[in-house]
Chain A
């Protein structure tokens, strides 16, 4: 019944975090990776989460993607309150409504590209939609590589297979964690172009964590995190806008660190 109510109020957002907190350790050594983050991700939008190292951007994504449990606060994905789910339901949620692209090690080495792409569907026991599968394969440009194993493909090709897998089950939202972090710029551009296209042409929702301004410039919206809080947000940014914001955040962080170090000694 509560589920019903939640569904009602969040129908507009693909994923939503409410006052999300995540802390590690306790007492003096307690670290707040997320210190009360509230954010919504609109359907059909490509959003980047940026911030300096240790800002909490990866933690935020892990919590949103139901890979990590927050200390406090709520996460709602596609109308479902993640906090109320047990492991089995979480697994089903990840399988059916969330797509993942990780920075590295995205594919099962023993499976071919096609098998990797269809893995979530296989695990769910559902038949792939032939038309959709062909569309996705065409879009990532891998039609001739489907029988290859990951070891026989370049890093860029592997990442594109990962993207295709993320889309294969038509998830409500795709989370990408530094998807271009390990790629050369040309391969990275291909992956980003594909993610962009999936939003524009297929109406996908994509959330990407990155520290690369060029990657972020492909997005509709950029959220900046620092010290576990959302500190800024840009709509339709250019690369220069992003770089300027990044630099400002970096400087602020350095000042704070110098201040705390000073008081510490």
Chain B
């Protein structure tokens, strides 16, 4: 029996290659994503482990803040305290570190390097070692920096166009004056990669001058344990001599904290990519179901002969499944190899975006390979199972009968089941709106999933009107060949429907995302129109804080009446005096001018800030149970705390954080004063056209911020939304490519099946060109069916999801232009998919075709 399976596979290799391609692509995407994700996390692991010393002494309270948090602590530790640490018998070395956040590197043309991707890490060179006793940073070229000198990572030097000996420009976080330093070497983290971060390394006095205003102090201390001393003992010893606002933590704990913080981000990336990989696999499964159904139908007589010769039902079913198994193993193997290449491609894309992942870590690990094989084989076998069962049901007598009329079970059962399922989906979605527990969007999502599957199963019935319309249009436009194409698309509705369903899934997702993106853009426009009440806004693209000197400069520009400053900092709401379990939120420090420009919609209390009063957004107030007059405590990265009293409760707003307080309190919180946004009002009679260029001059010199008016601000946000949208479209493109393969496959098999008919058409006078057109039109009908079903469903799901998210997406947007474009793309997809089958049909010899069996 197994030999027969192999023979069958070889005899039908061309037909199988196409359906295998669907699995190959799905598995390739999946294994590529797995390999890439592993590479990503091992890159970060090696950096984290390679750059963490045995123990770290740091300002208290820092642990609960993730990397990249806003607000820089001003707490420092004195050299005397470091010396005390170094003198401990358990300590082999205590290296005082000066770490600075928010420094920017400028390239040789004075433009910002990186900036939007990974962070820039600036610190002093200490020669400290990591937990494994290896140096944390490794010099690649040149020497370590002395006064007025700098060392940076090789990648950044290359990107910025600097060579050893060049003068390098950097922008410090607290001043808008560029600093110059001579590049004397390049260095990387021990492990080779910096994961896209920029490393700027100074000598200790220079670092102190830049970040601590020249004060001889340190922001943290790296401890190296003496021989035989454990991390815990080291920390215990250090704790005894520490100043009260500093703490000592073990290297292991720092690694854990860093990994937790990083893995959150990495998980988002991995899950995001995995979702698209799974979509591709599911679409591939549709192709498999369809191909095997057609192959089994075409082999009915052969299968019947097997049954007549004494094969049991199970043997026949198993022979079809065995074919699927062999095919899936081969296809998965190719897919995994391709996935490895794809992972390198993904890494290259991320590298271009500023996150370098060395090729070394992109290896095919056992778990990626096993998962990829598992998914590839399981999905194929599951997909082939239905057709295989049908193969087993072929009656032996069919072998003797001449006619192979396919006895299609009535579609009525399908319609009934579908109607019920559709209702189930609707009930699920409705449940979300009617207050079932959990998020409304999740309920709609589950309902949508049911709908997608139902539509896929009933496309043969639901899609009929679309196909009938296609037939009418084609017949009117192209006469006989058009009508024949329409009829061909209609003759086996299951086949057409199943083929179109693969495309439907892709387009349903694309349209759903399209609706959400359009709604988001509309909402942004609304918010900007309503809340952007200043004349200009100054911000960095990444929302990073910038020096207050920029605002000082702007205030002096003629025509500027008011510059209002806002600084956003991370803060923990302290629960019952417990510092560690607090909820992290954002505090907006607002100056007095703020209320002169913006109006918050108050629910109670006043929006005027005074003393330790705070305005709290109503959702947070509700969650915490705060009323006007409630007192609460915030903890900050420097370990300091602030006692605040609620003086007003406002509707949530995009212009401030959930908690607003006076800007002056930022200093009291032990944080560096910087600005996050500047709101600028023109003096009466001043013209925006003359002031804007002056402001632009300042932002151009400062590099890290931009000035926006209403229009450009909305454009910038819309640009970010669209960037994400196009990325999602790009990832869904693979699902659509797989769907195209499905159409090619179905058409190819149909051409084989209709060889005689094609011969007859040619004999009675259909030209090759018309024959090609007929097949192309059939292909277009399938593609348009998939597109129309997908877009209709996607619109419904998108509108419902928007409704479920109405508190965030306040305005519905329908991307009608995009939908029209999708329809055009569907037609193009149809034309492309028909190229091969049409060429094959046109090549058929008329006489051979008409006399074929």
Residues of A that sit less than 8 Å from B by CB: 62, 67-68, 87-88, 91-92, 94-96, 100, 102, 105-111, 115, 119-120, 122-125, 151, 165
* B765 surroundings in chain A (CB, below 8 A): 91-92, 94-96, 120, 123-124
Residue in contact with B764 in the complex, picked from A87, A88, A95, CB distance below 8 Å: A95
A122-B763 contact given A87-B768, A102-B850, CB 8 Å threshold: no
Closest-CB distance, B322 to chain A (whole angstroms): 34
Residue in contact with A165 in the complex, picked from B488, B764, B850, CB distance below 8 Å: B764
Closest-CB distance, A69 to chain B (whole angstroms): 9
Query: Can you list, as one digit per residue, whether each of B560-578 has a CB less than 8 Å from chain A (1) or not (0)?
Result: 0000000000000000000
Q: Give CA–CA (A128, B762) in the complex, Å.
A: 20
Residues of B that sit less than 8 Å from A by CB: 405, 479-481, 483-484, 487-488, 490-491, 756-757, 760-768, 770, 846-847, 850
* B770 surroundings in chain A (CB, below 8 A): 123
A94-B764 contact given A67-B846, A67-B847, A110-B484, CB 8 Å threshold: yes
Closest-CB distance, A53 to chain B (whole angstroms): 15
Residue in contact with B491 in the complex, picked from A94, A96, A109, A125, CB distance below 8 Å: A109
Q: What residue in chain A is nearest B763 (Cβ atoms)?
A: A100
User: Are B757 and A94 neighbours in the complex by a CB distance under 8 Å?
Assistant: no
Q: Give CA–CA (A87, B846) in the complex, Å.
A: 11
User: Are A123 and B846 neighbours in the complex by a CB distance under 8 Å?
Assistant: no
Q: Give CA–CA (A210, B455) in the complex, Å.
A: 53
User: Are A119 and B850 neighbours in the complex by a CB distance under 8 Å?
Assistant: no
Closest-CB distance, B278 to chain A (whole angstroms): 38
User: Are A108 and B760 neighbours in the complex by a CB distance under 8 Å?
Assistant: yes
* B850 surroundings in chain A (CB, below 8 A): 67, 102, 105
* A91 surroundings in chain B (CB, below 8 A): 762, 765-768
Closest-CB distance, A183 to chain B (whole angstroms): 15
Closest-CB distance, A66 to chain B (whole angstroms): 9
Closest-CB distance, B556 to chain A (whole angstroms): 80
User: Are A68 and B847 neighbours in the complex by a CB distance under 8 Å?
Assistant: yes
A109-B757 contact given A67-B847, A87-B768, A92-B765, CB 8 Å threshold: yes
Q: Give CA–CA (A120, B765) in the complex, Å.
A: 6
Q: What residue in chain B is nearest A65 (Cβ atoms)?
A: B763
Q: Is the interface of B mostly helix, strand, loop or mixed?
A: helix
Q: Give CA–CA (A125, B482) in the complex, Å.
A: 12
A122-B479 contact given A105-B756, A111-B487, CB 8 Å threshold: yes
User: Are A108 and B763 neighbours in the complex by a CB distance under 8 Å?
Assistant: no
Closest-CB distance, A54 to chain B (whole angstroms): 15
User: Are B760 and A123 neighbours in the complex by a CB distance under 8 Å?
Assistant: no
Q: What residue in chain A is nearest B486 (Cβ atoms)?
A: A110
Pairs across A and B, CB under 8 Å, 12 listed: A68-B847, A87-B767, A91-B765, A91-B768, A105-B760, A108-B484, A108-B757, A109-B491, A110-B491, A122-B483, A123-B770, A151-B405
A100-B764 contact given A109-B491, A111-B484, A123-B770, CB 8 Å threshold: yes
Q: What residue in chain A is nearest B770 (Cβ atoms)?
A: A123
The 7 closest A-B pairs by CB, nearest first: A95-B765, A122-B480, A110-B487, A91-B767, A67-B847, A120-B765, A123-B765
Taking each of B757, B765, B847, which has the highest tally of chain A beta carbons within 10 Å of its own beta carbon?
B765
Q: Give CA–CA (A105, B760) in the complex, Å.
A: 8
User: Are B847 and A62 neighbours in the complex by a CB distance under 8 Å?
Assistant: yes
* A94 surroundings in chain B (CB, below 8 A): 763-765
Taking each of B405, B757, B846, which has the highest tally of chain A beta carbons within 10 Å of its own beta carbon?
B846
* A88 surroundings in chain B (CB, below 8 A): 767-768
Q: Give CA–CA (A115, B757) in the complex, Å.
A: 15
Q: What residue in chain B is nearest A151 (Cβ atoms)?
A: B405
Q: Give CA–CA (A110, B484) in the complex, Å.
A: 7
Taking each of B756, B757, B761, B764, which has the highest tally of chain A beta carbons within 10 Å of its own beta carbon?
B764
Closest-CB distance, B289 to chain A (whole angstroms): 24
* A115 surroundings in chain B (CB, below 8 A): 483
User: Are A110 and B488 neighbours in the complex by a CB distance under 8 Å?
Assistant: yes
Q: What residue in chain B is nearest A110 (Cβ atoms)?
A: B487
Q: What residue in chain B is nearest A116 (Cβ atoms)?
A: B764
Q: Give CA–CA (A101, B490) in the complex, Å.
A: 27
* B766 surroundings in chain A (CB, below 8 A): 91, 95, 123
Q: Give CA–CA (A119, B488) in the complex, Å.
A: 15
Closest-CB distance, A20 to chain B (whole angstroms): 15
* B761 surroundings in chain A (CB, below 8 A): 108, 119
Q: Give CA–CA (A96, B765) in the complex, Å.
A: 8
Q: Give CA–CA (A92, B190) in the complex, Å.
A: 77
Taking each of A62, A100, A119, which has the highest tally of chain B beta carbons within 10 Å of its own beta carbon?
A119
Q: What residue in chain A is nearest B771 (Cβ atoms)?
A: A91
Q: What residue in chain A is nearest B846 (Cβ atoms)?
A: A67
Closest-CB distance, B406 to chain A (whole angstroms): 12
Closest-CB distance, A177 to chain B (whole angstroms): 9
* B479 surroundings in chain A (CB, below 8 A): 122-123, 125
* B767 surroundings in chain A (CB, below 8 A): 87-88, 91-92, 123
* B847 surroundings in chain A (CB, below 8 A): 62, 67-68
User: Are A106 and B760 neighbours in the complex by a CB distance under 8 Å?
Assistant: yes
Q: Give CA–CA (A92, B479) in the complex, Å.
A: 16
Q: Give CA–CA (A100, B851) in the complex, Å.
A: 14
Q: Give CA–CA (A108, B485) in the complex, Å.
A: 12
